[in-house]
Amino acid sequence: MRKDWLVPAFVALLACRAAAAAGLVVQVTDQQGRPVPDAVVTGRSHTPAQTAPLRAAQVHVIDQKDLMFLPYIEVLRPGDAVVFRNSDGTRHHVYSFSPAKAFEFVLAPGQRSPPMTLAKPGIVAVGCNIHDQMASYLVVSDAPWIATTGKDGRANFPALPADTYDIQAWHPRLRPGRGNTPQASIGVSATGTASASFSVLLLPDPRMRDHERMQY
């Protein structure tokens, strides 16, 4: 029995599977029509068996530089760890009272915290007890698919299995209230790129100067 057909057949099978995956682009804009960066967009398939590729737990680094947390938004999976590093010339008192994880670290210039594991999903709002304008958000999510919008306000999912997905967006400055929770069900076909758009009402950025906040 000849087996030389197995390799091209296997390659063809992989090509068919690749063709069964398409893309999704989610655009997020604010009340002025401007792109919203740093929005976290999650996707959950209507087919329970559809899951994203597994990955090993990671250690994320949140820096403190020029009296800012960098990055402003960080996405983690349950089981990931985070380290806070102080690259400033002044002391920082990093803390959170969030139900998902409460902690505090006092870090002198050049110091870093020990790795801290975040075991359960949730939003961890991080501040500095010395510098009130400093803020960062750790988004710990078990959603199979997750992406963050860039400066253009777009979150890209380049390879999704064909299916219907519940898409939801979150941003730390979303105005509270009903009707301002961006979510939709989007069908993704085996070819082409699907798209969705959300328009959200945002609170002023506390990191802005006063004249910048007047635009909201």
What pLDDT, on a 0 to 100 scale, did the predictor assign at position 208? 64
pLDDT at 21: 62
- Please report the pLDDT score of residue 127 as a whole number: 96
Full-model pTM:
0.83
pLDDT at position 41:
97
Compute CA 51 distance to the chain's CA centroid, rounded to the nearest angstrom: 17
Contact 76, 139 (CB under 8 A): yes
All residues at 6 or more sequence positions from 155 whose CB lies less than 8 Å from its CB, including other chains: 25, 26, 28, 39, 41, 147, 148, 149, 169
pLDDT value of position 39: 97
Tokens 């801290």 sit at which residue?
A: 116
Pairing mode, if any, of strands 116-117 and 122-128? unpaired
Structure tokens at 134: 């400093």
Domains in the chain, start-ordered, CATH in brackets? 22-52+148-216 (2.60.40.1120), 53-143 (2.60.40.420)
Of 150, 153, 127, which Cα lies nearest the Cα of 68?
127
pLDDT value of position 8? 35
User: Rounded to 5 degrees, what angle do the CA atoms 41, 47, 52 make?
Assistant: 50
Residue 53: predicted pLDDT: 73
Q: Which of 149, 161, 140, 134 is closest to 200 using CA atoms?
A: 149
Residue-wise DSSP of 107-169? E-TT-BPPPEE--S-EEEEEEESS-TT-EEEEEE---SEEEE--TTSEEEEEEEESEEEEEEE
Tokens describing residue 58: 């990671």
Token pair recorded at residue 133: 């304008």
pLDDT tens-place values along the chain, 216 residues long? 444 433 333 333 333 343 456 899 999 999 999 999 999 999 999 987 777 777 899 999 999 999 999 999 999 999 999 999 999 999 999 999 999 999 999 999 999 999 999 999 999 999 999 999 999 999 999 999 999 999 999 999 998 889 999 999 999 999 987 667 899 999 999 888 999 999 999 999 887 654 344 444
Buried b (16+ CB within 10 A) or exposed e, 136-169: bbbbbbebebbbbbeeebbbebeebbbbebebbb
Separation of alpha carbons 200 and 36, rounded Å: 9
Q: What is the model's pLDDT at position 73? A: 97
